[in-house]
Each structure stands twice: as structure tokens, then as C-alpha cells.
A and B are shown apart, each in its own frame.
Chain A
Amino acid sequence: MKQIPASLLTLIAGIGITLISFWVGQHHNLLPEQASEQAPLVDNFFNVMVTIGTGLFLVVEGAIVLFIIQFRQRKGDESDGVPIEGSFSLEVLWTSIPAIIVVGLGVYSVVVYEQMGGFSLSAHGGMAHGHASVLVAQAPGDAAVTPLISETTTPTEPTPTDAPQYGIGATPLEGSQAADLVVNVTGLQYAWIFNYPNSGITAGELHVPVGKDVQLIISAQDVIHSFWVPQFRLKQDAIPGQTTELRFVATKPGTYPVVCTELCGGYHGSMRSEVVVHSPEEFDVWLHENQIAQASGVAQTVAVNPVDLTPSEFLAPYADALGIQSEAIASLHSHHS
């Protein structure tokens, strides 16, 4: 020990901790697979935080372990330690380093948030590319932002005054363009109902094409629910009385869980569904088949009151699987009509 200068030991320890931190940051394997355009952004951000966190963890915990071994009371030694009361320069150092780190993380989180689409909710119109601070107000004639909503008027979709105020909107890549596909999502105890306003399809699980810009207009029927797809890294509460939105591009075909994360009652834990990400061709097939099956059903329920299929009847098979009552579904529809 005596021959090696302390600064050299510190240097070696510093390099070692840095290497370990970087390795842990890249290899922690804690996150599920990535299936949306937002997922890599969030994961890279998390990896940076894991890297910094591992470094700080090793330094602080290492110091604690080192000190309690090195400075333990030896047998028979009843004396006191060295009366050091403080060190201004050291205190400035360990105040400023965390301050720099957290400000850096704050700035990074704003960048990530902007790239995810956090600043461009459809209610506020489009946003200039790449500038988090510039929110361009929506011109009165610019209703093209949400064309799929305003063009059609099926009873279950929100009116234009319900334009979402909260959530994740279009990413800078998508700009102020309208989404390729709009789906109305309704949370109710204890199920998610997905309604495709253009085609009148209502389903118990979400089907989306891969690589397409999807906008979910989320509302809640009874209590607060929260829509989460872990593989998309996206979550937004479904709030009674308000609409929220999530906009994403699914990047990987497959079936992923839809989880409700806001306590919504006794069977909150069973409020699970699925999002199926299809290839574009598969999606068209799915859309077509369901359109035919439901053509005389849900879409025209209110207008023609068909005798052959009420919404509750249609949803009965789902209701069994989801543990919900048909009255609940009926009330959902009556609420919107």
C-alpha cells in the first residue's frame, strides 16, 4: 500500500467503476422487448440513468463498506476519532457534481420527451420540428390534424370539443400530419373497449398495423383507468370526463399485453387485454373481416336499432372472457349516444 500513491489507486478505482457502470448500463436486461418508436428513446435514457446510478452506487456503497472496515473500533480502543468538522471545498464538490448530473438528466429528459411526442397534443395543434420550446398554435382552418374524427360521426366517438388535452402526441417526425389510424379506447370496470371510428368495428383487443402512425383517443366510462403497453413504454390514464391520447408507431409484429395500471376496483388486476401488431396486409384482412361481421351491428346501433345484434350481444363472448357484465357494456353505449 505504502509504495502506491493514493491518487493512482483512486484513478484505477475510478476507471474500474466507470467500466463496470457502462457495462451494467448496457447489459442489465431489465426491460421488456421494444415494440414502438418510443421504446428505444426511453430505454436509452434509462440505460444512461442506470450507468450513472451504478457509478454513484459503487462509489457511495464502496465508501461506506471501506470506511466501516477501515475505521471500526479496535479492541480496547475507547478513544474518539479525528475531530474533522467539515471541508468547504469537499462540500462544494459533492453538491455541484449531483447538481450537474440532475440538470443534465433534466435536459436529456426534455429532449426524450419531445422526441416521444410529448409536446404536440392534437388539441394544441402541430409543433415545429425539433424545437421543444416552440408550440405553434393551431390555425382555425387546420382541422386536418384529426381528420378521422371530424369526418365521421359514429355515436361512440368523442365530439371535437373532446380533443385530448393530455398524453403523448405526434413525434417531430410525424409533425402535424394526421395519424394513419385513429382508435377510440374506452376503459370501464374491468375491460378495454376499442372502437375504430372509420369502420365501425368494436373489439375487446387492439389491432394495429406495424409501421403506421396510430392515435389512441382514450376515455373512461366509470373510474380512472390507465392504459399501458409495457413493450411500447407508453402509459396514459383514462380519465372520466376528459379525453387523453397516445400516439405511437408499432415497430414489431406480435402480441403484447395491455395492462390497466390505475387501481379501478376489486378486479383491477384482471383488467388485461392485448394489442396485436399485424403486418399491413394482415391488418387489412382483419379490418375487412370485422367490418363485414359488424356492418349491421355496432355502427348503426343507434340509427336503425337493429333487431339482429345489440352491442351487448355482440360483446357477450368478450364479456365472458373479461369478466364484465353485459349491462356495463349496454350502459357504455347508452352513455355515448
Chain B
Amino acid sequence: MSAIDPATFPDRAARRARLFTTINRLDGWFQVLGLSFVTPLLRALAGDNPAAQMKHIWRLLGVPLLAIALFLALWATLAPRVVTSLGAIPGPGQVWEQALVLHSDHVAERSKAAEFQLRQDARNAELVAAGQADRVRERAYTGSPTYYAQIWTSVQTVFFGFLIATAIAVPLGILAGLSPTANAALNPLIQIFKPVSPLAWLPIVTMVVSAVYVTQDGVFSKSFLTSAITVTLCSLWPTLINTSLGVASIDRDLISVSRVLQLNTWTKITRLVLPSALPLIFTGLRLSLGVGWMVLIAAEMLAQNPGLGKFIWDEFQNGSSSSLARIMVAVFTIGIIGFILDRLMFALQSLFTFSNNR
């Protein structure tokens, strides 16, 4: 700041000051979104001591990029040395190539879908002309789902399962946190069910869904429900445990105050318990969503339910020379989406909580 004489450019100095305040405010958000390297970049652009900022940029952007480059180089040199029954392990180049192929498959499938739509329209027009308007039906394209469709299915499923898990886990967690008796009752069940693998739940869930959800044309397909409920069963626990922990560790003084004020239970929970337990609840939710995403892929693989897991299993079964590269595309997709989901939860947490627990 001192480099510029404030007397000569009073306006500019004030603008600069405002600019830096803005950058500092944005910094919080960049950190939440995993883009913390943007702050020093902006600062440097705004003219703040470039040398000092370069150091930050190097640490926040240069080092990670270098690590990624190193990883890619290691991968590219080591992968071709492992020869599997489907050929050598693909390097980054082949994986990228397959990512492009998957995209062009998507484009091709879309044009086939458009043709399907044209044929259907012609057919429906014929039916109307023949006076059979009651037989006209608009149906979705029947071709195989593209890679993007599989991603979208998985994301929808994980959120559905996660929402059910949250709806169950948060109230139960509050109950367990408030009442030692409820905690004593729930604890053994939590301990037993928490470590159970999704692959163990899946057959049970499949059978139960088939038995209970008998309709063939309901809102949800059975495979969707099976995957989502398996996600629910496995992602319940972190939220449940963290919620009860958060609720149980409320400041005793606050409890005393609530007694003095003679608050009723509902007010106590909404005004007192929830706000102070929120940071831990969100930590639980973040963990839950992460677990749910991992579980979902396994469940889709085993049950052949639509989604990224099915994509991987299908490719594994295909056993073509490009299968391994395609599976790796899926691995990176899963990783990146998992990362985005985590950031999303982190951002939500930052919106709702103001403690230093971030």
C-alpha cells in the first residue's frame, strides 16, 4: 500500500482497499470450493507484492500441479510394464482417448435417439390417421444408456439414498444424544450394523424390495430403490453417531439456561440443541455422503443396477482391448464426482454454521 501515495490517488487507494477486502471475503469461499489458489492469484493481479504472492501460488497451485504431473509420468511409464490378460495396463493417453470415445458414443447414441423419436412420431401420426388415437404413446428412447446417463443415474441414486438416511439418522441421533436411555438402546445396534458391508445388505434389500414393491410401473424402478436403500443402510451411521455426539456434548450451561427458562422440548431442540450440534451433524453428513457414494458403486456393480457401477462391470465382462482404459475413465469420474459431492457438503456446512469447526 505504501508504494502508492494515498494523497495523490485517494480514490484509487480506497478502491484498492475495497478490492482487497472483497478478495479476502471471497477467500473463504475459494477455500470451501477447493480453489484456494485463486486468492493469491487475484492478489497478485491486483498488484499486491507479487513475490510474496508467488510463494502462495507456488504452494497452492504449482505443487499440486507438479504432483499431478509426476503421477501422470509415473503412471505412463509404469503402466505398460504390467501386462494383463487384456493387454498392458493403459496409460493416461489411452484413458483420455477412451474418454473421448465415450463422448462420441454419447453423441452417436443421441442421434439414434433422435431417429427413434422421428419413427415414433411417424408411427403415432399413422395411428391417429387410422382413428386409433387411444393407442398413441410417447415413450423414451429404448437404446442403451450413454456414459453421461449412467453418471446422472448414480448421482440421483446417491442423493435419494442419502436423503432417506438423513431423515432417519438426524432424529434418531438427537434422541440418542438427549436421552442416555435411548443411547443405551441404540448403541449396540449401531455398533453391530455400522461395519456391515453393502454387499451383505444388497441381497436382503433386493429380496425385500421385490416382495414389498410389487408394482411394475411405479414412480421408481426396483433397481433404483434397491441401490438407494442399500446406500441408506450404509450411510446412516456416520450421521447418526456424529449427531448424537454433537447433541450430547452441548455446553451444560446452555442446558441449565433452558431449564431456567422452562423451554419446551421442541423449542429446546430447535433453538438450542440443533444450532450447537450443527457443526458435528454436518461432519456426519459429509462422511455419510462419502460412504454412500462408495457403497453405491459397489451395489450397482453387484446388482447390475443402472449407473457407473454397472458401466464398470459391463466393461469388465466385455473384456475388449479398450475395457481397462474405459474402467479407468470411470474410476476418475467416480473420484472427481466424489470430490465434488464432498465440496458441496462442505459449502453447505459453511453456509449453516459459523463455528471454528469448519
Are A and B physically bound partners?
no
